[in-house]
């Protein structure tokens, strides 16, 4: 087997090892691969491991030796899965490896808005507390979560875990989901989308990106939200219309926007969300804890082993 890793740097910048994959055959690891280099680097590959490299039909058609694309992520929209199926190429992903880490990022963002810990820590480091007239000071609103309403759009693995943690914080939890109320924990109340927008003090998005959820949050839906609401997006950047969100922040129609994902990554330098107050953007790192990446590498290894042994797992294209 000829195994090629096309963009291995993000998953493994050097603190993990690709060596276990060598048990299956020849291994070549590229940290990054530009679009124009994909075919040359992948032309003799039986198995490709990749995260963000694009595989449209016209690329797949030029890779006759390819048998498996092992995605180093949960999302697999980078591959034309229908074309892969027609060409006899299996596509396997890695589900649920980053749930705990993403949930942790959701609450890191939320607690940052509520208490602005880094802001105050930096101030103290600069001597502001030492020179203060009183025993304490604050110059931002300080918010308590208990008793407020957290709304969740999408109750998959991450959404359910967010709900569990929110309940522990004393938040009232509501959710827009296809699941029946009787199948939900007692602390989650199912609501329709309009009620979700209107009632949420905090709204967090945990749904797939589809044609129905593209720009789910836009100028119209933002008008239904409370001006004091906090919007969190650790799902996919295009779930929100970034220009409309920036305008809502600038005009006081939304309190804060917290995101670990953007519509284009990396974002353009002139994206308004990079400048507008109360937009808190992290560079798509919720998945990237050491522990989550360890799980990712282990499941990727298991996906390759299972495929070679004739018992494919985590295949997403009905191979």
Backbone φ and ψ of 26, nearest 5°: -70, 135
**Is the alpha carbon torsion for 275, 268, 74, 284 positive or negative?**
negative
Please choose, from the candidates 261, 273, 297, the residue with its C-alpha nearest in 3D space to the C-alpha of residue 73.
297
Query: d(Cα 170, Cα 163) in Å, to the nearest integer?
Result: 11
Q: Note if 32 is an active site residue.
A: no
Instruction: Return the structure tokens found at 241.
Output: 């219309």
Q: Note if 295 is an active site residue.
A: no
Q: Which of 57, 214, 215, 284 is catalytic?
A: 284
* Bridge partners (DSSP) listed for residue 29: 5
Query: d(Cα 100, Cα 262) in Å, to the nearest integer?
Result: 21
DSSP state, residue 194: H
Instruction: Return the structure tokens found at 104.
Output: 């942790």
Q: Note if 284 is an active site residue.
A: yes
Query: d(Cα 178, Cα 9) in Å, to the nearest integer?
Result: 37
Q: Which of 236, 242, 244, 295 is catalytic?
A: 236
The catalytic residue positions are 236, 265, 284
């Amino acid at each position: 087997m000829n195994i090629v890793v096309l963009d291995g740097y993000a998953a493994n910048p050097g603190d993990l090892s690709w060596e276990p994959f060598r048990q299956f055959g020849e291994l070549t690891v590229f940290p990054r691969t530009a679009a124009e280099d994909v075919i040359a680097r992948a032309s003799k590959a039986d198995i490709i491991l990749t995260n963000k490299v694009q595989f449209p039909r016209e690329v797949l058609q030029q890779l006759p030796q390819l048998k498996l694309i092992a995605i180093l992520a949960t999302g697999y929209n980078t591959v034309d899965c229908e074309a892969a199926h027609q060409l006899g190429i299996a596509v396997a992903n890695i589900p649920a490896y980053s749930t705990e880490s993403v949930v942790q990022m959701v609450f890191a963002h939320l607690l940052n808005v509520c208490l602005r810990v880094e802001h105050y820590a930096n101030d103290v480091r600069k001597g502001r507390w030492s020179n203060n007239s009183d025993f304490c000071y604050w110059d931002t609103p300080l918010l308590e979560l208990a008793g407020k309403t957290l709304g969740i759009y999408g109750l998959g693995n991450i959404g359910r875990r967010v709900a569990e943690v929110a309940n522990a914080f004393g938040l009232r939890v509501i959710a827009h989901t296809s699941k029946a109320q009787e199948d939900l924990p007692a602390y989650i109340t199912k609501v329709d989308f309009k009620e979700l927008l209107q009632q949420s003090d905090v709204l967090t998005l945990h749904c797939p990106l589809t044609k129905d959820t593209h720009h789910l949050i836009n100028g119209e839906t933002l008008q239904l939200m409370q001006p004091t609401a906090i919007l969190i997006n650790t799902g996919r950047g295009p779930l929100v219309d970034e220009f409309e969100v920036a305008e809502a922040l600038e005009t006081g129609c939304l309190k804060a926007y917290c995101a670990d994902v953007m519509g284009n990554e990396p974002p353009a330098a002139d994206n308004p969300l990079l400048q507008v107050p109360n937009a808190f953007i992290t560079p798509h790192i919720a998945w990237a804890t050491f522990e989550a990446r360890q799980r990712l590498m282990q499941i990727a290894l298991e996906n390759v082993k299972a495929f070679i042994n004739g018992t494919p797992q985590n295949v997403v294209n009905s191979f």
